[in-house]
Amino acid sequence: METLRERLTSAAFGAGWSLVCRLPEPVARAIFMAGAEVAWRRQGGGVQVLEGNLMRVSRTDPADSSSAVISRGDDPPFPPGACPMKGEDIGHADVPQRLGVGTAVDSTDVDGKELRMLSRAVMRSYARYYLETFRMQVITADRIAAGMHVNTAQADLTLEYMKNGRGVIYALPHMGDFEQAARWIIGYGAGSFTTVAERLKPEAVFQRFLAFRQELGMEVLATTGGPHPFGVMAQRLRAGKLVCIVADRDLSDTGVEVDFFGEKALFPAGPALLAVQTGAALMPVACWFEGEAEWGAHIYDEIPIPADGTRKEKAVAMTAAMAAVFEQAIREHPEDWHMLQKVFVSDLDPDRLARSRNRNGTANGTATGGNGDDRGDGSP
């Protein structure tokens, strides 16, 4: 039974959702950008974690990165640390020294002002994501079709796989507006897809979130309170369907440690395990914003299933390859990486990290893979 607070929150959320859709888009945008500015200037815990994550992007050389071996075949990488607001004097040049995040970070080559400008750009991008989430019901399919810039050859390959009965897994980082990209692939020919979402509170808010996305063709599996997501997704993939998983942060204790921007990070093993178990094609996808009214997405080549090794060993290798693709994508559009949560091992709670390592049967800190029940991260 909902508490009074939850009922009030649900009512406020519903009223806000309706109001945002009724406001002229420029007015709604201005409100959300103002909110992003306030959050950025307050330097709360989420923004500090964000800047700790962005520090890794800024301080590492792409030539020394695992992502350097991945060829996308189109535009050159986005310069690390660059963002549209470069040149604005906002101070805070001591950011690398004052961030209370992982001790493994070498901040000597990170410009604090550049980092602050980049985090500001990310907060504005993150606010746009939420603005479009609230306004999704008034953003037409025609507008998405006209405004989405994507490599259609890979989308066509996705549909060909599905037509021939082979499932496809889209694994995405928290970048851009992946929900608009999801609507695009539905309209392009996929028809529907399955994804995972954390069960939000209040329950009424989650149910509204669920119902609207189902109307758009998204099957949303809650992480709790229903059938196990991994098993359902495996069934869908064996039926030749599309599954989309946001996969740059592990929410369970079954994550895999991978190299990511020169450090160890904990990634979910779920996408790779699903591919190994079902034979589905694991294809990383990155999303970003184009200007103020359009979107970009890139569907990368399939990550092949290794011929040799145990199921867990194959999943580890594929997850590492997925992380390398994400690394390149984030370098190209760092201002659209909305990672305000801890992902690097040096930042994580030691108890949780120990549970992950023990559950994966590791004594030296290098995980051998998940146990098949990783839930990924479909958080909105």
Per-residue pLDDT tens over the stretch 172-188: 999 999 999 999 999 99
pLDDT of residue 209: 79
- Per-residue b/e over 231-254, b at no fewer than 16 CB within 10 Å? ebbbebbeeebbbbbbbbbbbbbb
Q: How far is CA 371 from CA 317, 343, 357, 359, in A?
A: 15, 20, 12, 8
Q: Say which DSSP state 303 is in.
A: B
pLDDT of residue 106: 52
Q: What is the pTM of this model?
A: 0.83
What is the Cα–Cα distance from 176 to 206, expressed in whole angstroms?
22
Amino acid at residue number 118: L
Tokens of 67: 């992502």
Per-residue pLDDT tens digits for 134-172: 899 899 999 999 999 999 999 999 999 999 999 999 999
Q: How far is CA 189 from CA 149, 160, 221, 378, in A?
A: 16, 10, 22, 22
pLDDT of residue 361: 57
Q: How far is CA 14 from CA 18, 57, 65, 273, in A?
A: 6, 37, 45, 38
| Residue 285: closest CA among 141, 177, 132 | 177
- 376 close to 196: Cβ distance less than 8 angstroms: yes
Spans in the chain with pLDDT lower than 50 = 67-93, 95-105, 362-380
pLDDT of residue 190: 97
Amino acid at residue number 268: P
